[in-house]
Chains A and B, each alone.
Chain A
Amino acid sequence: MSKRVLLIEDEPNIIEAISFILSRAGWDVVTHSNGHDAIEAVQNRQPDVVILDVMLPGRSGYEILTDLRAQDETASLPVLMLTARGQTKDREMAERVGASLFMTKPFSNGEVLDAVNQLVGA
């Protein structure tokens, strides 16, 4: 049984790209594209890894992650944060709310794959 990754991201083209890369590598990719009910999506889909964009409609990725960390069942879920804002304070913010890994767009395809693999391996 392949491992499942949940991609929470609002740009359709980026969803398409990441889904393509990860499913080629044998991942079961499910996607979600807004911030409002991202928490429910995580609970329903039971992913092994979450890829979470920061700038989402409705709620920011930081808020979602804070909530996820506050709940027992998702407190230790591996989360890879993606952001298009490349400033240091964004990275610091991500670390503070408990991101397992942080990555700035644009990224190379290999990087994403490595990061996800690293997260389940850990």
Chain B
Amino acid sequence: MGSLNTIVGVSLVYVAFLFAVAFAAERAAKKGRGNWLNWPVVYTLSLSIYCTAWTFYGAVGYAARSGLEYLTIYIGPSLVLFGWWWGLRRMVRIGRTQRITSIADMISSRYGKSNFLAIAVTLLAVIGTTPYIALQLQSVTTSFAVFAGTGSDQVDLTATALWVAAGLAIFTILFGTRTLDSNERHYGVVMAIAVEAIVKLFALLAVGVFVVWGIADGPADILTRIESSEISTWQIKGGRWAGLIFLSAAALLCLPRMFQVMVVENENEDHLRTASWAFPAYLMIMSLFVVPIAVVGLDLLPAGSNPDLFVLTIPLATGNESLAMLSFLGGFSSATSMVIVASLALATMVSNHVVMPIWLSATGAGGASVSGDVRSVVIQSRRLSIAAVLVLGYLYYRLSGGGSALASIGLISFAGVAQFLPCLLGGIFWRGANRNGAIAGLAVGFILWAYCLLLPSFGTGTFLSAEVMENGLFGLAWLRPQALFGISGLDPLIHAVLWSISLNTFAFFVVSICGIPSPIERLQGAQFVNVFEHSSRAPTWTDGTAKSEDLMVMAQRILGAREAQRVFEREANRQGIPGLLPEPDADFLQVLERELAGSVGAATAHAMIGQIVGGASVSVQDLMAVANETAQIMEYSSQLEVKSDELSRTARQLGRANEKLLQVSDQKDEFLSQISHELRTPMTSIRAFSEILRDNDRLSNREKRKYSGIINTEAVRLTRLLDDLLDLSVLENGQITLDQGRASLREVIEASLDAALNHTEVKLKVIRSRRDEEIMLDTDLDRLSQVFINLIRNAQKYCDADQPELQIHTYESDGVVTVDFIDNGTPIPDGAQEIIFHKFSRVNPQKAGGAGLGLAICREVMHRLGGEVSYLPGQGSTAFRVTLPQQLKIAAQ
């Protein structure tokens, strides 16, 4: 029992260590110091989740039972990696350009962003993976039991499994759902599994070295021992050898957890190049000592001991407690890293393809743009899904009784997910593949897999009666689960793989060529198959009725305010429009859809934009592009496209310039007449009251004081107006000298708040973060303060909330400082957002305080400072954004 307590203690310390590693990696990534996170070696190590506890413990048992056949499980993936140039490179590129979040997302996105396919693949993946998770739980609990000593104190195995499952759920939730990153990369998780990869490799090597040099007399001795052991009677079974190489290669491409680390978490395509030799090398080293351990174990341990546990029992039997401990940690690492990534991958699929679509339709048509915070819904659903996946795994473990039914579950699971292969490869190599074909293939493949392999695996009588096994379904002999169409004598696994994969492929092919894919599928097909030729075109949205502001509101909910604004600003810049709201043209919608897809999956992103845009997503033009597409035309047309893009951009700009010129002449008139109005109004009062004072001798003192007060106020107003006009004219003509100084943003904001809010009765609650404001500025501080004062006074004057509030958000990135002033009053209507920066325009004429020159002056000042002030739409209240370079460049003047 003592050793059991030690092992529990050691595993807890180890888990704490993993938490620390994951936490450190997340922190480093957040601070941008995590260069080492992007090393190709980390990527390669993360691929090692292919080697689960099934490898760590099971490979030795497999070798003891079936000789060298275990090697096929590692040869297949090695071949896939060697052949990265053919398939993986394509998948990774597609994953990156289409912002794929999971294998379900990949398949659904290829076949016209079909939600049905996404849900189907998700469910099938859950069915295929749950037993595998159960297998990991079992291996961890069994290894605990080995330490507890057989027979003595019965450890409550199911309780152990429950604790392990709960611990894994917590870890995955903590590091897998911390943020809803647009690129879905989880640095903490990746780093933790990379560390676990090293631990399991080291542990297996240590046991191997101990066995070869500690127990046997080196490699030569091992080879003779092989010849004298029962393994030497092994004879290659051709069907299984080739079949299993194929199956494991297919599984590497199709397993949801492998897809997650290979494609989704891929940071840099070049890492694949390193992994293409480094991962096969890892697999080779992992397999190297398996046969020696098996041989020595068969020699050393009493007959009938479980060869699956040789890795643990050999060190224990020879009294090497610490080696056994290391070995235990290796197995523990293999199991936990698999469960963490698998549950993360499945949870992403479940939340993106099952929960989100339901939530979207439940909250009604406008749901995406109007109600609720989508980000938190996605994250919560992801957390619940992780817990649910682990609960499923645990239940499977409980129900199967942890018995021998689990032993072959690894290969059964491989065969299940391998059913994705035809529609996956067909999707990326064959333009003709379509949605119905994919559905047909998947359905046929999975039914056959379940009927021939999964259900019989529970044992005769559980799901399939002896009657069915013997005489076939409905008594039809050609429907016998292990001898379909009368072909008997095959190995059951190979039989099932052969029929399911070939009929799956056949159905996929035939249904595909019979049907006509929808336009959006054809566009996605071209996009996937020719990913290297044209990485930019995708099904486009017709310029529709989408309102940029609605899109902004939605994008902010999913991407987060800052990221969404960054995307919108970049797109607006591309279109040559100042400010934050780009025109909702097809290009912009496509970019936005991809950004959203990175967070919620392609099908959901497509649906959400569809709700707002409301238009068809494919234009006649796009259809023509598909219909006429030949290699040359594509080449030529993509050049034309660039040209015509340029032309239309130029035309847009010219149109805008022309409009401006027309406006300018109108504005000149308007300006004169405005100045006249602004000057004459105060003069009217001054003249009238000075005449009253002059002509009426019998005024009371109070009246005299009052009237001369009015004259004074109006004279001050006139002076201020003239000051503003002069200021503006100086700014516009660029004749000002900037007075550069250094201070922190906090000091500038505090000085401005003092100046703006002191001596006023209106209470404005200011919410700000002094810590964020610690940004050093090198600019004209007085001018900047003038802008801030103006914005604060505006909030104070025009905010119509019962309890006026002003939030000031600040941040800095790449030397550009952004300051947002957001109050809680009614937002400025669409049409007026640009006008308020014009001279003499007022937000609200009812409360005319100044001449309406304030924002115009602000804009000019910010231009002088190399920055900008603009209205920040989509906040649900009035908000202004000031951006400026941290360091003013004198040359810019």
B826 within 8 A of A: no
In the complex with contacts A57-B846, A84-B681, A109-B695, A17-B676 CB distance below 8 A: no
Separation of A108 and B688 alpha carbons in the complex (Å): 6
**Smallest CB-CB separation from A54: which chain B residue?**
B677
Separation of A14 and B685 alpha carbons in the complex (Å): 5
Query: 0/1 per residue, B684-728, Cβ < 8 Å to A?
Result: 111111011001100000000000001001100000000000000
Per the 8 Å Cβ criterion, residues 1-35 of A in contact with B are: 11, 13-14, 16-18, 20-21, 24, 34
Separation of A87 and B675 alpha carbons in the complex (Å): 12
B673 within 8 A of A: yes
Select one of A18, A106, A109 contacting B680, CB under 8 A: A106
Separation of A24 and B698 alpha carbons in the complex (Å): 12
B731 within 8 A of A: no
B714 touches A13 (CB 8 A): yes
**Smallest CB-CB separation from A53: which chain B residue?**
B681
Select one of B672, B673, B692 contacting A17, CB under 8 A: B692
Query: 0/1 per residue, A44-69, Cβ < 8 Å to B?
Result: 00000000000101000000000000
A55 touches B677 (CB 8 A): yes
Separation of A21 and B694 alpha carbons in the complex (Å): 13
B710 touches A57 (CB 8 A): no
In the complex with contacts A13-B685, A14-B685, A21-B680 CB distance below 8 A: no
Residue of A21, A90, A106 contacting most chain B CB atoms (<10 Å) = A106
B685 touches A85 (CB 8 A): no
B846 touches A87 (CB 8 A): no
B692 touches A109 (CB 8 A): yes
Measured CB to CB, the closest approach of chain A to B849, in angstroms, equals 13
A104 within 8 A of B: yes
Across-interface contacts of B691 in A (CB, < 8 A): 108-109
A105 within 8 A of B: yes
B845 within 8 A of A: yes
B680 touches A17 (CB 8 A): no
In the complex with contacts A13-B710, A13-B714, A20-B692, A85-B684 CB distance below 8 A: no
A14 touches B688 (CB 8 A): yes
Separation of A13 and B714 alpha carbons in the complex (Å): 9
B681 touches A17 (CB 8 A): no
Across-interface contacts of A104 in B (CB, < 8 A): 680
A85 touches B673 (CB 8 A): yes
Separation of A119 and B692 alpha carbons in the complex (Å): 23
A86 touches B676 (CB 8 A): yes
A86 touches B680 (CB 8 A): yes
Select one of A11, A21, A55, A57 contacting B692, CB under 8 A: A21
In the complex with contacts A57-B846, A86-B676, A14-B681 CB distance below 8 A: yes
Separation of A84 and B846 alpha carbons in the complex (Å): 18
A107 touches B673 (CB 8 A): no
Measured CB to CB, the closest approach of chain B to A53, in angstroms, equals 10
Separation of A34 and B846 alpha carbons in the complex (Å): 9
**Smallest CB-CB separation from A33: which chain B residue?**
B846
**Smallest CB-CB separation from A24: which chain B residue?**
B696
Separation of A16 and B713 alpha carbons in the complex (Å): 14
Across-interface contacts of A57 in B (CB, < 8 A): 845-846
Measured CB to CB, the closest approach of chain B to A19, in angstroms, equals 11
B683 within 8 A of A: yes
Across-interface contacts of A83 in B (CB, < 8 A): 677
Per the 8 Å Cβ criterion, residues 590-614 of B in contact with A are: none
Separation of A53 and B259 alpha carbons in the complex (Å): 73
**Smallest CB-CB separation from B844: which chain A residue?**
A57
**Smallest CB-CB separation from A86: which chain B residue?**
B676
A108 touches B687 (CB 8 A): yes
Separation of A34 and B848 alpha carbons in the complex (Å): 13
B684 touches A107 (CB 8 A): yes
Across-interface contacts of B695 in A (CB, < 8 A): 109
In the complex with contacts A16-B710, A57-B845, A57-B846, A105-B692 CB distance below 8 A: no
Per the 8 Å Cβ criterion, residues 843-889 of B in contact with A are: 845-846
B688 touches A84 (CB 8 A): no
Separation of A87 and B677 alpha carbons in the complex (Å): 10
Separation of A70 and B714 alpha carbons in the complex (Å): 37
Measured CB to CB, the closest approach of chain B to A25, in angstroms, equals 12
A17 touches B846 (CB 8 A): no
Separation of A108 and B687 alpha carbons in the complex (Å): 7
A85 touches B677 (CB 8 A): yes
Across-interface contacts of B672 in A (CB, < 8 A): 87
Query: 0/1 per residue, A93-117, Cβ < 8 Å to B?
Result: 0000000000011111100000000
Separation of A76 and B846 alpha carbons in the complex (Å): 30
A105 touches B680 (CB 8 A): yes
Select one of A21, A55, A106 contacting B686, CB under 8 A: A106
Measured CB to CB, the closest approach of chain A to B692, in angstroms, equals 6
Separation of A3 and B688 alpha carbons in the complex (Å): 22
Select one of A18, A55, A85, A90 contacting B688, CB under 8 A: A18
Across-interface contacts of A13 in B (CB, < 8 A): 685, 689, 710, 713-714
Measured CB to CB, the closest approach of chain B to A81, in angstroms, equals 14
Across-interface contacts of B685 in A (CB, < 8 A): 11, 13-14, 17
Across-interface contacts of B684 in A (CB, < 8 A): 11, 14, 17, 84, 105-107
Measured CB to CB, the closest approach of chain A to B615, in angstroms, equals 38
Across-interface contacts of B673 in A (CB, < 8 A): 85, 87, 90
**Smallest CB-CB separation from A105: which chain B residue?**
B684
Measured CB to CB, the closest approach of chain A to B527, in angstroms, equals 54
A84 touches B676 (CB 8 A): yes
Separation of A81 and B676 alpha carbons in the complex (Å): 17
Separation of A11 and B683 alpha carbons in the complex (Å): 12
Per the 8 Å Cβ criterion, residues 635-687 of B in contact with A are: 672-673, 676-681, 683-687
**Smallest CB-CB separation from A83: which chain B residue?**
B677
Separation of A36 and B341 alpha carbons in the complex (Å): 65
Separation of A89 and B307 alpha carbons in the complex (Å): 104
Across-interface contacts of B689 in A (CB, < 8 A): 13, 17
In the complex with contacts A105-B683, A106-B683, A21-B677 CB distance below 8 A: no
Across-interface contacts of B696 in A (CB, < 8 A): 24
Measured CB to CB, the closest approach of chain B to A32, in angstroms, equals 14
Separation of A17 and B692 alpha carbons in the complex (Å): 8
Across-interface contacts of A87 in B (CB, < 8 A): 672-673, 676
Separation of A78 and B683 alpha carbons in the complex (Å): 26
Measured CB to CB, the closest approach of chain A to B126, in angstroms, equals 63
B692 touches A107 (CB 8 A): no
Separation of A34 and B847 alpha carbons in the complex (Å): 12
**Smallest CB-CB separation from B847: which chain A residue?**
A57
Separation of A14 and B672 alpha carbons in the complex (Å): 22
Measured CB to CB, the closest approach of chain A to B717, in angstroms, equals 10
**Smallest CB-CB separation from A20: which chain B residue?**
B692
**Smallest CB-CB separation from A15: which chain B residue?**
B685
Measured CB to CB, the closest approach of chain A to B429, in angstroms, equals 67
Measured CB to CB, the closest approach of chain B to A29, in angstroms, equals 14
In the complex with contacts A13-B714, A57-B845, A84-B677 CB distance below 8 A: yes
Across-interface contacts of A107 in B (CB, < 8 A): 684, 687-688
A105 touches B681 (CB 8 A): yes
**Smallest CB-CB separation from B672: which chain A residue?**
A87
Across-interface contacts of B686 in A (CB, < 8 A): 106
Measured CB to CB, the closest approach of chain A to B774, in angstroms, equals 44
Residue of B673, B713, B714 contacting most chain A CB atoms (<10 Å) = B673
In the complex with contacts A21-B692, A57-B845, A105-B681, A85-B687 CB distance below 8 A: no
**Smallest CB-CB separation from B689: which chain A residue?**
A17
A84 touches B845 (CB 8 A): no
Measured CB to CB, the closest approach of chain B to A114, in angstroms, equals 14
Provide 13 A-B residue pairs closer than 8 Å at the C-beta atoms, listed in order of the A residue.
A11-B685, A17-B684, A17-B688, A17-B692, A85-B673, A85-B676, A87-B673, A87-B676, A104-B680, A106-B680, A106-B687, A107-B687, A109-B691
14 more CB-based (< 8 A) A-B contacts, given A14-B685, A17-B684: A17-B689, A21-B688, A34-B846, A84-B677, A84-B679, A85-B676, A86-B680, A90-B673, A104-B680, A105-B680, A105-B683, A105-B684, A107-B684, A108-B691
B residues with a Cβ closer than 8 A to A are: 672-673, 676-681, 683-689, 691-692, 695-696, 710, 713-714, 845-846
| 8 A-B pairs with the lowest CB-CB distances in the bound complex, closest first | A17-B688, A84-B680, A13-B685, A106-B684, A105-B684, A84-B677, A106-B687, A57-B845
